[in-house]
Amino acid sequence: MSVLPIYLFGTKVLRKKASPVQELDPDTVKLVYDMFETMRSSNGIGLAASQVGMLKRVIVIDISDVEEEPGAEGVHSSDTPPKKLVIINPEVVSDSGSWAMEEGCLSIPDLRGEVTRAEEITLEYHDGNFERQRLTAGGLLARVILHEIDHLDGVLFIDHMSKPRRALLRSELNEIKSGRVETSYPVVTAEEE
């Protein structure tokens, strides 16, 4: 397993739409393992393949060390809620409710902002064995899934914020874009892309 560099705000790959995975080949299996290693080493809870420069519809999630926010308890289709997931080719087939919560992103280090997302989602996807799955999730798990699906579609969490709020973040975003940001993990900046 390798730690991959995370692409930061301003890189072109973060604004592109990822392509569906057609089969579970050795390159995709290696990518999944490397993404988990990258996410762990950067203290993240979710990571999309586009964040490591790969335009494949692949997400990894591990919320096992995170406590739910009050009022954001998860709802799941199985007795044991999943805390660690490989999600390939995700499709949200339904959503309901809405709630706001502060979000952050490994591709936009040190910035956080309140984002309103669906409270509960039903998702169809392929798992790490490339078997078709259906999952109903709520709370933090639903939020992380939606955040990472946004990445696969070239959307960042700041895009959900109001224009005045984004305007207030402009100088910080320019610092990130130009690579003038410190992280504890390897990164690729817009100037290096």
Catalytic residues: 148
Sequence letter at residue 179? G
Q: For residue 58, what are the β-bridge partners?
A: 88
Residue 171 DSSP SS3: helix
Cβ proximity of 93 and 142 under 8 Å:
no
Residue 6 DSSP SS3: strand
- Indicate if the alpha-carbon torsion angle 85, 89, 95, 97 is positive or negative: positive
Cβ proximity of 70 and 139 under 8 Å:
no
Radius of gyration of the chain, Cα coordinates, nearest whole angstrom: 16
In this structure, the strands spanning 108-117 and 120-126 are: unpaired
